Structure 1
Amino acid sequence: MSRAWRSLLAHMATTHGVTEASEIGKHTVNVALMYGTGGGGHRASAEAVKCLLQQKHAEWRIELHDASAIIGASFGDDLYNALLQSNLTSVMPVVYSVASSVHPYLAPAHRNAVKAYFKNIGVQPDIVVSMVPFSNRAFVEALPFAEHVTIMTDLTHSDAHPWIQHEKQFIVCGTEQAYKQAVALGMPETQLFRASGMVVHPKFYIQPAPSRAHALIESFGLQPGLQTVLVLFGAYPPSSVMKQICTILSDREQRLQHPHLPREALDMLGWTEPVNQIIVCGKNEQLKRQLEASVNQHNETGISRAHIVGFTSHIYDLMHVSDLVIGKPGPGVVSEALVCGKPVLLYAGHSAHYVMEQERTVLNMVCTRGFGRASHDVHELVSFSADEITGYHQNIMAERPNRAVYEATEVISSRLHAKATSPDSASIG
């Protein structure tokens, strides 16, 4: 065993298994965080882990790497994002079927691409932390001397998003179902960790003071005292659905025209009260321009009481000042909302195939555990009462807290500990 790793072990022994320093002797611990660019959730998870690791291990070399670009799969991610933005998620099963069919033939090329990439940048990772499906076998085979931790950013393993691919993976499972899937697929339980949920950035755990929340609402040009709705469909929101939701929310009287929502019921429940809207357009620049123009019209067809946002890294601020979230059943956004104690109303689309396979478990979890509800109809989706939202909030607060990002960083430290004590560690440092 090298002197560097003896020092690491000694330090870990005095900190109960958690390393605090990173440059040990002449060896700097190299952590490679792998993310994909299909949607925004994979990178968000990688950023969350990086943030906490940097706080705990300031001298470690912790870097994010775009796995999609490395293996030449950026086109597939671009197609995925375009389908999301065009509200064509019902086409996804075909895309995933093609990807699953060709993946075995591309696996050797992916492995070689990963190996060449790290050789070219002159880095030999001590640990590879993957937040992406599909590519984990390539990571393990290309970098056999590294530890490999896979943090699942989906609630389950699926054909659409295969996570469990190699016996050398150490897998952080955010749900009991994912844990059982891994066991059923032959993974030893010593290679699994049952986390308390999905990884969420530490800033979502920091609740702002009421005075700051009030100031933020005013700075957005919104009206304090009204319910605030965060409309958030990820990094590539569908224009048609977003515009429909925002228009209906702007004038809740429009819902009185819906045949299944009689005026008497709405009046009794207070559903005609106006609401504030925070609308996140992500990377859909055309949608942002259209909504901004509508807000500026200030007429009966325009959107009122709305704060329009493009792509932002401050979703936690927007979520903290909101009362509920309307969006799609993405595991990242839903997990962030639940950490903040915010109910979620999920759009389930116009057909049975609208919700992607990897998101169906999210929708089911929200509905069965009373964290919110889902609807195929936009008018029905945005018809909510204060009492309904309060009930969902109480259900969320009664749940076991999600501490997955803190647990995942402990797993990374423990795997480095395991690496240091393994027979192969003599070649490190």
Structure 2
Amino acid sequence: MGQEPESVPRQSGTAGQVCWQTFMTQSRMTMRASVEADRASLFKSENAIKVCLFVIDAGAGHRATANAIREYLPEDQDVELVFANPYKDVLSRGSWFERIVANHSEAHYNFLLKHSRLPQFAWRVMSWLPLVFRTIRGKAISRLFQAFYAEAKPDLVICVLPFIGIDVIEEAERAGLPNMMVVTDHSETYRNSWIPASGTHLVAFSERGYHQGKDRAITHVTRISGPVLRRAFFRRSPDHAAALKRRLGLFPDAKTVLVFYGGNGSPKMIRIAQALEQLSEPLNVIFVCGHNKALKQELAAVEMGYQKRVFGFVRNIGLLMELSDVMIGKPGPGSAFEAVAKGVRTVLEVNAGTMPHELDNARMIAEEFDGASFCKEADMLSAIDAAPRRQQHEAGSEPPFRSDLEFSKVFNKFLDEAKG
């Protein structure tokens, strides 16, 4: 018998083992090829300041912050900013263990958020997993990030993530890359869940988050007056909002309530819709269900005694906020502070199911921005009753915080250091 061609490796074992070996070999070869292609094409410009911003889609808040940061790029500087996902772009190049984490973490978290009436349960289930993963696979994670930075060659690294975000920043620090952690939550709930041990810059919007950063080996720690939001939330367009209200067919003289529980909505919105029928005054109610199509269909099908409009995912949520007098929602740092910036009286649900890292947002909004919180439906209805119509408390007012101006200064300084 003739010899086998050299291009076909000899394999041993059962047919099943051979198939598995072939599958794994091909998977590794395909993954290596895609990794090299992805890293080679991460940045397009040779001369621009190359900024790598790490973001994931577990919930909608991280992506919203990343999109906001993109708006603060200075027009007079040549800066190329690209988004990277630490799971899909970094950990997916590791062993089968890292690939499982990379491929399933975001989807499972979003599933629990979308379908659970107790989002705190989803957060507690999913938050301890990254801590365990980082503990047992720390060396592998470090190696993968160092390889990513060596091949992508960013000039600056920005992160808007907890948990894996600590590795993003600390590994950038080890690689000698200037870095910035933008803390999108009020503060760190558990040590080593948000604030890295070392870094170049950290931006926090609460006093506690600021002091947590000062306690670590971080060179520059800055406090701004609110989360980093898109610039549009700091602008008022009353004429545009009034025209939209007419176009939606809402009662012109009735109080308008916006019910918005973030990018994935919440099953609680059904109960809130029913409770609002107890109010005797004429009412407009706008429900925004985000990506939760089933929730949108259910709310649209229910007949209510008030004027109702139901939306799915809305890109320009700021306009709906601006035509509203009250917003009911969860104390997430995105939607809650967006409403505050737009001048909406914010009524936030706080109970045993509230995610731990969101509780302090409700306290901050109540203490500093005249917000309210509720646990029982009766408290929610009382807060809506007590809220004045928008024109009674907004005439000539400015946004209650200006994190847009503050972050712009910090970001420009960060870029200037990279040029220098």
TM-score (norm 2): 0.78
2:317 is aligned with 1:315? yes
Determine the C-alpha separation between the residues in 1 that align with 2:311 and 2:104: 27
CA distances 1:8-41 after superposition (whole Å, capped 9, x unpaired): xxxxxxxxxxxxxxxxx96211112221212111
2:78 is aligned with 1:51? no
Matching residue's letter, 1:247: Q
CA distances 1:196-235 after superposition (whole Å, capped 9, x unpaired): 211111011121133x222101222322221111101011
Instruction: Report the count of equivalent residues.
Output: 363
1:225-264 map, 5 Å: 225-239=253-267, 241-249=268-276, 251-253=277-279
CA distances 1:260-307 after superposition (whole Å, capped 9, x unpaired): xxxxxxxxxxxx11211111100111001111222xxxxxx5464111
Deviation at 1:340, TM superposition (A): 0.9
Equivalent in the alignment of 2:4: none
Specify which of 50, 75, 84 is matched with residue 104 of structure 2: 75
2:294 is aligned with 1:286? yes
Equivalent in the alignment of 1:41: 61
CA distances 1:23-74 after superposition (whole Å, capped 9, x unpaired): xx96211112221212111110110110221x53574211222334333445
1:128-143 map, 5 Å: 128-143=157-172
Determine the C-alpha separation between the residues in 1 that align with 2:339 and 2:278: 24
Deviation at 1:101, TM superposition (A): 2.8
SS in 1 for 2:137: helix
Q: Please list every run of 5 or more consecutive structure 1 residues that lacks an aligned counterpart in the other structure.
A: 1-24, 254-271, 295-300, 422-429
Equivalent in the alignment of 2:180: 149
Residues 198, 402 of structure 1: 8 Å contact kept: no
Residues 111, 139 of structure 1: 8 Å contact kept: no
Residues 230, 326 of structure 1: 8 Å contact kept: yes
Equivalent in the alignment of 1:267: none
Specify which of 221, 228, 252 is matched with residue 249 of structure 2: 221
Equivalent in the alignment of 1:367: 366
Equivalent in the alignment of 1:66: 85
Equivalent in the alignment of 2:327: 325
CA distances 1:351-404 after superposition (whole Å, capped 9, x unpaired): 3xx11111111122233346222222124313335544469x969x99984222
Coordinate RMSD, CA, aligned: 3.0
Change (3 A) 1:187 1:310: same
Residues 111, 141 of structure 1: 8 Å contact kept: no
Matching residue's letter, 1:31: V
SS in 2 for 1:63: strand
Change (3 A) 1:371 1:103: farther
Change (3 A) 1:31 1:229: same
- The ranges of structure 1 where at least 4 consecutive aligned residues each deviate by more than 6 angstroms after the TM superposition are 397-400
2:414 is aligned with 1:419? no
SS in 2 for 1:163: coil
Residues 166, 193 of structure 2: 8 Å contact kept: no
Determine the C-alpha separation between the residues in 1 that align with 2:304 and 2:169: 53
SS in 2 for 1:27: coil
Determine the C-alpha separation between the residues in 1 that align with 2:322 and 2:130: 38
Residues 134, 141 of structure 2: 8 Å contact kept: no
Change (3 A) 1:161 1:132: farther
Deviation at 1:155, TM superposition (A): 1.0
1:108-257 map, 5 Å: 108-117=139-148, 123-143=152-172, 144-159=175-190, 162-183=193-214, 185-187=215-217, 190-210=219-239, 212-239=240-267, 241-249=268-276, 251-253=277-279
Residues 49, 419 of structure 2: 8 Å contact kept: no
2:408 is aligned with 1:377? no
Change (3 A) 1:30 1:219: same
Matching residue's letter, 2:275: I
Deviation at 1:409, TM superposition (A): 3.3
Matching residue's letter, 1:186: R
Determine the C-alpha separation between the residues in 1 that align with 2:258 and 2:249: 14
Between structure 1 and structure 2, the one with the greater Rg is 2
CA distances 1:149-205 after superposition (whole Å, capped 9, x unpaired): 11110111121882211312410111111111222x3335x4211112111110111
Change (3 A) 1:209 1:108: same
Determine the C-alpha separation between the residues in 2 that align with 1:347 and 1:234: 13
Matching residue's letter, 2:294: Q
Change (3 A) 1:32 1:310: same
CA distances 1:228-260 after superposition (whole Å, capped 9, x unpaired): 111010111222x101112222x235xxxxxxx
Matching residue's letter, 1:214: A
Residues 149, 169 of structure 1: 8 Å contact kept: yes
Residues 127, 146 of structure 1: 8 Å contact kept: yes
Residues 340, 369 of structure 2: 8 Å contact kept: no
Determine the C-alpha separation between the residues in 2 that align with 1:87 and 1:160: 27
The 10-residue stretch of structure 1 (37-46 or 409-418) with the greater mean CA deviation from structure 2: 409-418
SS in 1 for 2:334: helix
Identity of aligned residues (%): 26
SS in 1 for 2:217: coil
2:337 is aligned with 1:335? yes
Determine the C-alpha separation between the residues in 1 that align with 2:247 and 2:383: 26
Equivalent in the alignment of 2:17: none
